[in-house]
Amino acid sequence: MSKVIHNLIATYVNASTEPIASGERVKVNQVVGKAAFIYEKIRNAVDYNEEHLIRKNAIYRIMKRKLLFEKVIFENYLLESHHIDNIAMQLLQELMRGKYITGEVTQGLVTKVDDVIRKYNVLTSRIKDIEGKLDKKTRKFLFEIAAVEIENIIKPDTKEKALIRAMFSVMNPRLKMPSTMDDEKEKELQLYVACHRILFKWDESMINYLLLTLYYPDWKEADDALILKLANNSGKIIDEFQKQKMHPWSRRMNSILQPKAIVFWIIQDLLEEHKNRSEEVFSDPELLEAEIKKACQKRYKGISEKLRRGVVRSIVYVFFTKMLLAIALEFPMDIFISGSINYFTAMINIGFPPVLMTIVAIMIRLPKKDNTEQIMKEIKMITLKDGDPKMYPLKDPKRRRGVFRYSFNIIFTATFIFSLMVIFWGLNKLYFNFFSSLIFVLFLTLVSFFGVRIRRPVNDIMAVERKDSLLGSLLDFITLPFVSIGRWLSVKFTKFNFLAFFLDFIIEAPFKLLVEIFEDLFSFYKEKKEDMMQE
């Protein structure tokens, strides 16, 4: 076996026996917890996010509410002063009620989370002292990376880090730098970031935290001097991280690593499935081949289930957003323009997005036999050094001349405008007014973008490059403008999601306060009952 696999096996064996944080167990009331769990399900339905980001985003949302909204209310209206002594405990209890944490939570874990919250609280105070204020961009940056660090404490990523190191070790020698690039460290940094982005779908906030720990290795145990250093350079740090995330080589590396992700996921699946006999499996070519086939089929089945969940979540998100928009704007505009609500166009506008999303899901096809064979070939090459690895030159990013760039943009825009004209003409024949047609197109672009997103899990497990067809290329040519607009709208909806804003600041704060009150009430009655039983 290769050294890469030996190291992976050792890490997985040791990770399974890692001790949990010690101390008294933290408990929550099950009755109250069910109500909080239902609320979290509703909250996540109206704020479309990838599944692996839900817990981290919940931590960010709770911290933001605790340290901003509730802090202002308590300090100005309820209490003379507000301290952060109980925020770590409250945060973990909320995560337990929402089923974001399913394992045991101890007082030792509360202490670790409390240390992180205090560290970022000191950092924000230092920045305020230096700058005179804390702008929204910096505050959001700090809250997000604090949420990432807290999630890493709640769910240690030892195995994930080991798999990322394995991917880095395998792919680093295969990437050939061009003559114009001579900084090996720059290539390795971009490759390491790309491994996190491709292998475990890290978003911007997670990449920011990764870069912070790479630039400042002692940040997890930061002392006052390091915190002051970051406070003095916060603006420069944010700009530098943005520069690294937008590096010219990031797109090229992503395209190289994407087909390799499924290879390392299957290796991970084998390590998890055969914890006590990993060396036997990876050292026997015939046994390894048989287990790879089983793991691939299991992974394909899991993707089918994930695809169904993604479709349901997308439909719920689009339906809720569409209904809200219909009640707030479309129906009033129908009455204003026509004097009455056109229920025929309203039904089409409400029903079309879910139906189209379902059709898109039905048309998605899972990988075929050649995909499994390619995965098997790659794993044998990594584990048994069977075959010659393919080399990938890091070509200079392609730069189009101004004339070609403008010409292509004109064609791209003209295609979109022509498609819009055809759609508006067809809707006019169905007696849609201009505003209803606009709403229809708006959600057509969103569904087009979500259609691409829900197909992503299938694309992620493709180890072979799919061949382009004439029909597929023509379809991409027509739909790409809609997907681009849908992506832009999705980002804007995320920033201006009024239903999520309503839930966060109008419903969630008083609801969670009531949950905590009832939690204390049930605890009080339980103590009284225990006292009476002892008398």
Phi-psi region of 18 (alpha: psi -120 to 50; beta: other; left: phi over 0): beta
Nearest to 89 by CA among 78, 102, 72, 105: 105
Prediction pTM value: 0.78
Q: How far apart are CA 236 and CA 488, in angstroms?
A: 27
Q: Is residue 397 one of the residues assigned to a domain?
A: yes
Q: How confident is the model at residue 79, as a pLDDT? A: 40
Query: 99 — alpha (psi -120 to 50), left (phi > 0) or beta?
Result: left
Specify if 61 maps to a domain. no
Residue 434 lies in a domain: yes
Domain count, the chain: 1
- The answer to whether position 385 is within a domain reads yes
Q: Which residues of the chain have pLDDT under 70?
A: 1, 15-22, 31, 45-49, 70-85, 180-182, 318-330, 396-405, 408, 466-480, 486-535
| Cα–Cα distance for residue pair 89/26, rounded to 1 Å | 8
Question: Is residue 346 in some structural domain?
Answer: yes
Domain limits at 441? 308-496
What's the full length of the chain, in residues?
A: 535
Q: What is the pLDDT of residue 528?
A: 61
pLDDT score of 78: 41
**Residues 436 and 349 sit within 8 Å (Cβ to Cβ):** yes
Asked whether residue 326 is assigned to any structural domain, the reply reads yes
462 Cβ neighbours under 8 A, 6+ residues apart? 259, 262, 367, 371
**Is residue 501 assigned to a domain?**
no
Structural domain contains residue 492? yes
First to last CA, the chain: 67
